[in-house]
Amino acid sequence: MTAVGMQRANFWGGVITVLTLVCAILWAFPLYWGVISSLKPEDEVVRPYIELWPENLTFSHYYTAVFDTQIMTWYLNSIAVALGVTVITIVTSMLCGYALSQLKFPGRKALWWLILASFMVPTQALIINHFVLISQLGLINTWAGIMLPQLIHPVIIIVYKQFFDQVPKDFREAAVMDNAGEFRILFKVYLPMNWGVTTALSIVTFIWTWNAFLWPFLSVTKTEMMTVPVGITQVNDAFGVYYARQLAAAVLAGLPVALAYLLFQRKVTEAITLSAGIKG
């Protein structure tokens, strides 16, 4: 490459770097503003001008959110629901993906096309049906009622099927020659090969479920059964809205997801890449 070409490449590289930095700041500023506002007294939050740092730092809003609300109960509900949905979704999706990839049974192609077609139906379009069904089953205001409509994730089934399709047939043939059953082949041969995929999909499924708002909001009316995203909407006061208190509750609600992402960033990115590749 000539000197002029190098200079041009460096110039455009610098421009892209600056634009990326600007976009990152614009994305991160609302998060920064929310955290900083939660550390301000209420009278500073409602001031008509911008202050990038609290004049009087206070943690009283976090104390109120933790000890004067049911946020710990909401945490317990969210953990139970997210773990339950993650475990059941991963296991059933793995079994379904393996069956579609390795087994031959009547209706296999029809089932596969049905799973692919499910991408055309937005989840919100099924909300009324879900609510009627869960109500008829008497599962409103229960963990089961929150979990059941969130157990279907076609993209996870497709990711597993594609992975199982890529495994060399020799492994399966060797296991069959040893008289291994299908469950043994799956859990002793195929599963050890895809722990990375399973871990990534589990983390993303947990985050999806933890952040879910619409369905838990519709299926729960009792405060003690709410999950964290729904429960923080109840952090208010009889005399009006306290923005700093609500922001403190919102920060506490998002903290577990933020920590999970920081700890498992590579796995989360891997799962999102897999999902995006399927949808694209």
% of the chain exceeding 70 in pLDDT: 90
Residues 136 and 244 in one domain: yes
Residues 142-181: pLDDT tens digits? 999 999 999 888 888 988 988 888 888 888 888 888 887 8
Residues 123 and 258 in one domain: yes
Residues 156 and 46 in one domain: no
CATH number of the domain within which 271 lies:
1.10.3720.10
- Residue 37 phi/psi, 5-degree rounding, is -65, -30
Residues 24 and 77 in one domain: no
Residues 258 and 126 in one domain: yes
Residues 103 and 207 in one domain: yes
Residue 238: what pLDDT? 46
Asked if 276 contacts 119 with a C-beta cutoff of 8 angstroms, the reply is no
Integer angstrom CA distances of residue 170 from 103, 113, 162, 174, 199 = 15, 27, 17, 6, 25
Q: Domain tally for the chain?
A: 2
Residues 87 and 168 in one domain: yes
Residues 132 and 162 in one domain: yes
Residue-wise DSSP of 197-228: HHHHHHHHHHHHHHH--HHHHHH--SGGG--H
Domain span at residue 7 reads 3-60
Asked if 179 contacts 112 with a C-beta cutoff of 8 angstroms, the reply is no
Asked if 184 contacts 102 with a C-beta cutoff of 8 angstroms, the reply is no
Among 30, 60, 90, the domain boundary falls at 60
Q: Report the distance separating Cα 57 and Cα 128, nearest Å.
A: 45
Asked if 70 contacts 223 with a C-beta cutoff of 8 angstroms, the reply is yes
Residue 280: what pLDDT? 44
Among 17, 38, 60, the domain boundary falls at 60
Asked if 81 contacts 262 with a C-beta cutoff of 8 angstroms, the reply is no
Among 13, 30, 60, the domain boundary falls at 60
In order along its 280 residues, the chain shows pLDDT tens digits of 566 566 676 777 788 888 999 998 898 888 888 888 888 888 888 777 778 888 888 888 888 888 888 888 999 999 999 999 999 999 999 999 999 988 888 888 898 898 888 877 777 888 888 999 999 999 999 999 999 999 888 888 988 988 888 888 888 888 888 887 888 888 888 888 878 788 888 888 988 899 899 999 999 989 889 999 898 887 765 445 678 888 888 888 888 888 877 777 776 666 666 555 444 4
Residue 94: what pLDDT? 92
Q: Report the distance separating Cα 235 and Cα 70, nearest Å.
A: 9
**Which tokens sit at 107?**
């209706």
Residues 55 and 93 in one domain: no
Termini Cα distance of the chain = 35
Residues 154 and 223 in one domain: yes
Residues 123 and 165 in one domain: yes
Residues 203 and 123 in one domain: yes
Q: Which amino acid is at 172?
A: R
